[in-house]
Structure 1
């Protein structure tokens, strides 16, 4: 019975999945990389909303439309202090320049933040 019990234990040990040790460094690098990517995507999304607003204004989209109104409201919030930075007499040019600068701002800032996150987090 002793020999049979030993064989049963060996068989059971082989059948059990072996636990692999958690590679915390790799897990942290993945988390940092994910966070940096999230920041970049957020900046890209903000810039896209601003550019979409510029397109709607230059294309003279219906301001009463729900989508146009939604984009305008978000763009106003995302434009920060750039909304009235330059004040040319042409309203379309004003929107193009000011909201365009705000879009570029978000792309640059999100890129810098993503690099900082990667460096501080050790994800290369």
Structure 2
């Protein structure tokens, strides 16, 4: 009888350890996904800044693609500052949005690590 009780406790302990490992793997994968997503958003905004400040052709397919995706990713930062030069406005506002994504991504990954 004592063996049955010990064996059940051992089985529950093994099951808990497996659940912990699974949770750690899932949270680890989520951290990687969040980091990639946030970095991609920040990079896209930075590329938009470079293309705009560098004077890229606004009718070019690449420039249009980047601008199309950069606008929603700027999350309201597009018109935070209104300098007279539109290139400076893009540099400042989209630059701040890019930094915002990096900060939020860093905070989100720290929170997720704390959960793991």
* TM-score, reference length from structure 1: 0.77
Question: How far apart are the structure 2 equivalents of 1:25 and 1:76?
Answer: 40
How far off is 1:36 after superposition?
1.1
- Gap regions ≥5 residues in structure 2: 1-13
How far off is 1:24 after superposition?
2.3
Q: Does 1:42 align with 2:26?
A: no
Aligned equivalent of 1:60, options 42, 55, 60? 55
User: What is the aligned partner in structure 1 of residue 78 from structure 2?
Assistant: 83
Corresponding residue pairs, total: 101
- Gap regions ≥5 residues in structure 1: 1-20
Question: How far apart are the structure 2 equivalents of 1:91 and 1:64?
Answer: 17
User: What is the aligned partner in structure 2 of residue 114 from structure 1?
Assistant: 109
Once the two structures are overlaid, the 10-residue window that deviates more, 94-103 or 24-33, is 24-33
How far off is 1:42 after superposition?
0.5
Deviating beyond 6 angstroms after TM superposition, the runs of 4 or more aligned structure 1 residues are none
- Structure 2 SS opposite 1:83: helix
User: What is the aligned partner in structure 2 of residue 25 from structure 1?
Assistant: 20
* TM-score, reference length from structure 2: 0.82
Spell out, residue by residue over 1:13-35, the C-alpha distance to the aligned partner (whole angstroms, 9 max, x if none).
xxxxxxxx772211210110110
Larger fraction in helix: 2
How far off is 1:111 after superposition?
1.0
